[in-house]
Amino acid sequence: MPASGSPVRSSHTLAEILSQPEKWRLSQQALLHHAAFQSALAQAAGRGEWLFVGCGTSFYLAEAAAASWTLLTGQRARAVPASELLLFPRLALLRTPHLQGVIISRSGRTSEALRAAELLSREHHLPTLGITCVEDSELAKACDLIISLCEVDEKSMVMTRSFTSMLLALVHLAAASVVTGDGSSPFEKIAAALSSRIEGWNDHIESFVAKHSFEDYIYLAQGPFFPIAREAALKVTEMSCSYAQPYHTLEFRHGPKSVVAPQTCLTFFLSESGMPAESEVLLEMKELGGTIIAVCNRASDSLRRSCDLLFELQADVPEVMLLAPFVVPTQLLGFHTGIKKGFNPDEPKNLGRVVILD
Ligand code: F1P
């Protein structure tokens, strides 16, 4: 427990990270009463392809949502940064038949996200669904439909629970549009699993950070977990001004592994589909002397022996449901690393909550 007066104790960023299990429950419950969610659900069946759009953390959310969508529905789904849509619209193939646009913005005010919504809707006459954490936002005015998860909005500059809650809302939209549940909610299962672990994880990470100093941070993942690696890298950069790089796990052998040393902190997001191949890379990097963190659903004995820090969720849910809880340990790593380096994650250096362009 942090000493009284420590910035940790009073941090709203940490409180928001720790509030995620309860906020997931609240936002999932609220969704069921959202007219826009029900309308999006009804319209989803008629869509042929999905284009998810966002900026910063909301772009990595778009990537995670697109991968989850394809795995859950079999439909084509892509993600682009709003800026790419604005500067290179031809690359987005907007004439694709039955294309649905989904614009993601916590604030609902990011200039590039709003301009992307208007481009899709007004210039290309595409249906647009917005998802945000603010009531009556500018994004709501720019989209045909808007899902507002106001209960998960944040005081913080960095996005944490807004990222995971909006991702789970989009996963719910994909899941609900293809299968009828068997009654047991996978959302409740991950909330319960995280709720019973998150305080212990926080303590483990705080003491791990106190004992180690790293020069660089590497995040490794495959498939739908790769956007989570990208978001994790952004978190530690935003909150602690550290250099962080995401790579596809097996790609890391093809050159980037040259950086590995004891002062390199490597975090592996281990999928269930790719665990054997991904674990081989983990063992190789351990042998190169790297410091190893692993985030997985269930660990093998050899994995337990090879990690310097291990996070297991142990939830019986479809694999795509693991994306949101897997990012939580890395949000905590970014936070405590920032505190250790003398920064205040509640007021990150050089950053603002929303990027508004003239
Ligand atoms: C997008 C964003 C955030 C980032 C920072 C600046 O915000 O890039 O991802 O952490 O807050 O804005 P939004 O469009 O989701 O409100």
Calculate the CA dihedral of residues 150, 152, 153, 159 and round it to 10 degrees: -140
Atom number, ligand 1, closest to the C-alpha of residue 104: 15
CA of 25 to the centre of ligand 1 (A): 23
Atom number, ligand 1, closest to the C-alpha of residue 234: 10
- Over its length of 358 residues, how does the chain's per-residue pLDDT go in tens digits? 555 556 777 899 999 999 999 999 999 999 989 999 999 999 998 899 999 999 999 999 999 999 999 999 999 999 999 999 999 999 999 999 999 999 999 999 999 999 999 999 999 999 999 999 999 999 999 999 999 999 999 999 999 999 999 999 999 999 986 655 566 789 999 999 999 999 999 999 999 999 999 999 999 999 999 999 999 999 999 999 999 999 999 999 999 999 999 999 999 999 999 999 999 999 999 999 999 999 999 999 999 999 999 999 999 999 999 999 999 999 999 999 999 999 999 999 999 899 999 8
In terms of Cα–Cα distance, which of 273, 265, 263, 262 is closest to 245? 265
- The Cα 254–Cα 258 span in angstroms is 9
Radius of gyration of the chain (CA): 20
User: Per CATH, the architecture of 12-183 is what?
Assistant: 3-Layer(aba) Sandwich (3.40)
List the domain boundaries for the chain: 12-183, 199-340
**Which of 102, 103, 107, 163 best tests ligand 1's pocket when mutated (most atoms within 8 Å of CB)?**
107
User: Per CATH, the architecture of 199-340 is what?
Assistant: 3-Layer(aba) Sandwich (3.40)
CA of 105 to the centre of ligand 1 (A): 7
Beta carbon of 159 within 6 Å of any ligand 1 atom:
yes
Nearest protein CA to atom 6 of ligand 1, as residue: 354
Contact 327, 340 (CB under 8 A): no
Handedness of CA 247, 250, 254, 260 (dihedral sign): positive
User: Which amino acid type is present at position 221?
Assistant: A
Contact 110, 82 (CB under 8 A): yes
- The Cα 69–Cα 85 span in angstroms is 20
Say whether 199-340 and 12-183 share the same fold: yes
Tokens of 288: 């190169």
- The Cα 285–Cα 290 span in angstroms is 6
Helix (H) or strand (E) holding 333: helix 323-340
- The Cα 246–Cα 230 span in angstroms is 5
CA of 358 to the centre of ligand 1 (A): 17
Please classify residue 173 by burial: count the beta carbons closer than 10 Å to its beta carbon, then call 0-12 exposed, 13-18 middle and 19+ buried. buried
